[in-house]
Amino acid sequence: MERAIKSLCQLPDASLFEEVATGIGHVVEVVGRLDTATHNLFEAGDHHAARILGNLAEEEAAKVLILLDAVRCPRKRQTERSRVLSYFHDHLAKGLYAEVCHWRPIDFAEVARGVEHERVQHYLDGPNDVDWIFPNQIIQSRVDDLYVGYVREDSEEVGHGKRYWTCPHNERLFAYWTPQIISVTRALDQVGATTPAGLAIVAEVWRPVEVRPETQFDELERLNWRTIEVLEERGQLAAAPDDVYAVIRGRWPFPLWPLDLRVREVEKKHLREVRQQWSPEG
């Protein structure tokens, strides 16, 4: 079977909303099963398996926000719509969606800076800030939880560094809470925003909006709440506890379709410059 997610770009809105609603329904069901299994594994003391399933549930939930961003993206921005749909199978992009749900940015510019920082292929760190070269944290943390590996400590001197085995550990987790991105996607589904009629309203509210670097977080909250209001005005809002509406208002992140979420390759000789850009003095 061939991946066809980007072909959603070719659909007229009515068909797009139907297909996206169907896809989101499948994702929400799968995420619910994974999240429940993660809680059960944690309670049973299998914390390694719980961590793997929890990460998988979080990554799968990102697909809901990706599909919603494809709906929020204006029809005339087909290049950006195609790009955001390509994130459906991209581990880094889905990890970034999960990360952004935890952020409380001042404005969209802060989101863009954070994403640019988190998508770098390698970065410098260590006791003196520039001792070793590390791979992208989001991608590497996923790999470290899954696989045994044989690696070499990297430095700016190519070919040098100690070699050693890495192995996922079963260290005890302090707790397992349902990840924020799952709470957000579950809330949007619960209130009716992910039905075909709900998605039409999401498009109506969001497509005319031009998110600029200076767009403030309180404007995001206003638009999130406006989505709920229009759902209610059109008789599409499903009743839910107040905390569900609060999650949507305060945690549904800015649309990420304007941003590049793919791995940003940086030559190792330029990593110090990248580090300086993110230092307190930079």
The pLDDT, as a whole number, for residue 117 is: 86
The pLDDT, as a whole number, for residue 277 is: 55
Which SS3 state, helix, strand or coil, does residue 134 take? strand
The pLDDT, as a whole number, for residue 161 is: 66
Distance CA(233)–CA(212), nearest Å, equals 28
The pLDDT, as a whole number, for residue 280 is: 40
Distance CA(171)–CA(47), nearest Å, equals 7
Distance CA(235)–CA(131), nearest Å, equals 59
Residue type, 91: H
The pLDDT, as a whole number, for residue 164 is: 82
Distance CA(40)–CA(32), nearest Å, equals 12
Burial 198-210 (b: 16+ CB within 10 A, else e): bbbbbbebbbeee
The pLDDT, as a whole number, for residue 137 is: 82
The pLDDT, as a whole number, for residue 279 is: 46
Which SS3 state, helix, strand or coil, does residue 121 take? coil
> Tokens representing 173?
């987790």
The pLDDT, as a whole number, for residue 267 is: 56
| pTM of the complete model | 0.87
> Tokens representing 103?
């952020």
**Half-sphere exposure (Cβ direction) of 26: Cα atoms closer than 13 Å:** 7
The pLDDT, as a whole number, for residue 281 is: 41
The pLDDT, as a whole number, for residue 239 is: 95
The pLDDT, as a whole number, for residue 165 is: 87
pLDDT digits (tens, 9 = 90+) for 196-244: 999 999 999 999 999 999 999 999 999 999 999 999 999 999 999 999 9
The pLDDT, as a whole number, for residue 119 is: 87
Task: For the chain, list residues with pLDDT below 70.
Answer: 1-2, 122-134, 136, 154-161, 170, 172-173, 265-282
